[in-house]
Chain A
């Protein structure tokens, strides 16, 4: 089985972001960048499939700036076999990403595509579903458990009321939740080796993808600030304070 994993370079999850004062966006210059945490889980899942001899090749793909090579090398150090970078503006939208991945799938014919369920910067939660639609194939979003063999793709997904188990026909697209796996830390020799591995470069125009922005971002602002709070000294004082907002007197 051939597995394709999509990874995105995003602002590190632990960074407190700054909104530019002119409303033009979020300041990402000189900010620590990292692989999207959900994508790390997807890479981990793919590498585990390889270790279990279910997958025979793990191809990792990113669509974004040249600097996304860094995240691809992290994925290789984690155990991916091969990497491909489709160079594009950092702000490429999910539709264009899905179209790009669909075009790459057309060439590479993976049996399974693993993606994160959402990117922590745009918080869209769209790309996997759109890719599955473009390929006309099965999808499972927010996977928290996988049971994948040479013959079957069974997924437990997180839904609003609990969990749901689905069996998918191949080829399929699965987006993963954080619950699925704890991603491994790449070891130093693997990181050194990954630095030397070639990364295949591909142009969006070559794939026939039109990456123009469909949505115009007019403004990005800080969310409304909350008034500073107060400390209370005891449980009874806390309950006293909450009495009114809880909707009635004791």
Chain B
């Protein structure tokens, strides 16, 4: 087995999702190489080379790779892919955009968002918004796979000694012009890797009320999530959406406030270790899903929690 992992980076270096993808690669087993595409990626190449178990780090460094454009990255991956039994990337918006392009060019059927490895040809993935788990086997010569990162504990060790090798970044495809990115930024831990998530839904009622959700989250060192309804209502930006068409989270504790609990939301948070729900509707489906349910007026309950946390100073877990 030879595995190529397409790395994803942000301002902090390799993303946690990339490290989870490396954990998945380890489970598949075999030689692991990493590909970094970007501009000025010396530091991140060194970071990758320091992870134990990686054989080689390929670096395609060019100005036209500074923003991640699938049309430019996919040919670089494709150029290497033929020599590998597996090509992996995190099932992030980048990975989902790039890997199917690579697979189509190789003429293979990719596998999306695997959550478990059975053997190097056999994987489990959720279908129907996570209401069924499919075990699929592929006999494609190169298996192109995106990885559900919440299902694999990120590889955090250091002390590796991979070789770093520059490769041809290819030309700019010229198919796409990057205009602008509007990143939400903000404080607090990353939603997909946070140990605690506090999410608000339509029931929260307004963007002003949502600030109380954010304040409680801040007191817990938690990330802020939202249902689609809350995002559509403009209470919070779209990148906070948890669910089938948003982000998948699996924190230690998920606190759902004013979220009814549609199948599509459930898909994004059902693997949380403990789920707590606060809703004023005792019949809300979320109570069928929650470990602890509280029927209460949302604003009152949030206010009480905020008050209690301010006094008790509940220990804030690491949100690595």
Contact = CB atoms under 8 A, between A and B. Distances in A.
A and B part of one assembly: yes
Interface of A: 11, 13-14, 16-17, 19, 26, 38, 93-95, 98, 117-118, 120-127, 129-134, 137-142, 144, 154, 157-169, 177-179, 214-223, 226-227, 229-239, 241-243, 245-250
Contacts of B291: 226-227, 229-230, 241
Contact of A141 (B96, B228, B253): B96
In this complex, the interface size class of chain B, counting residues with CB under 8 Å from chain A, is 35 or more
A226 to B, nearest CB: 7
A230 B293 CA distance: 6
A104 B176 CA distance: 23
B207 interface: no
Interface stretch (B28-36, B40-48, B79-87, B269-277): B269-277
Contacts of B137: 215-216, 218
Given A158-B239, A169-B175, A229-B291, A220 B132 contact: yes
B292 A238 contact: yes
Of A123, A179, A218, A241, the most chain B CB neighbours within 10 A belong to A123
A220 B133 contact: yes
B129 A216 contact: no
A37 to B, nearest CB: 9
Contacts of B174: 169
B150 to A, nearest CB: 14
Contacts of B134: 217, 219-220
B104 A130 contact: yes
A233 B296 CA distance: 9
A133 B107 CA distance: 10
A26 B128 contact: yes
Contacts of B110: 94-95, 126
Contacts of B313: 250
B308 A247 contact: no
B247 to A, nearest CB: 8
Interface string B285-320: 001011111111000010011001100111111100
Interface string B85-107: 00000001110111111111101
A123 B127 contact: yes
Given A118-B245, A129-B70, A217 B133 contact: no
Contacts of A161: 10, 181, 183-185, 239
Nearest to B78: A133
Interface in B127-144: 127-140
Between A121, A131, A214, the greatest number of chain B beta carbons within 10 A of the residue's beta carbon is seen for A214
Contacts of A219: 134-135
Interface of B: 10, 69-71, 74, 92-94, 96-105, 107-113, 122, 126-140, 173-185, 192, 195-196, 220, 228, 231-232, 237-239, 244-245, 247, 252-253, 255, 263-264, 270, 273-276, 278, 287, 289-296, 301, 304-305, 308-309, 312-318
B301 A235 contact: yes
Given A129-B104, A222-B133, A241-B292, 4 more contacts: A130-B100, A162-B181, A214-B140, A215-B136
Contacts of B101: 129-130, 132-133, 139
Contacts of B177: 166-167
A223 B122 contact: no
Given A242-B292, A247-B252, A215 B274 contact: no
A238 B132 contact: no
A226 B135 contact: no
B273 A245 contact: yes
B108 to A, nearest CB: 7
A40 B312 CA distance: 49
A235 B307 CA distance: 11
A98 B292 contact: no
Contacts of A216: 136-139
B29 to A, nearest CB: 20
A133 B100 contact: yes
Contacts of A235: 294, 296, 301, 304-305, 308
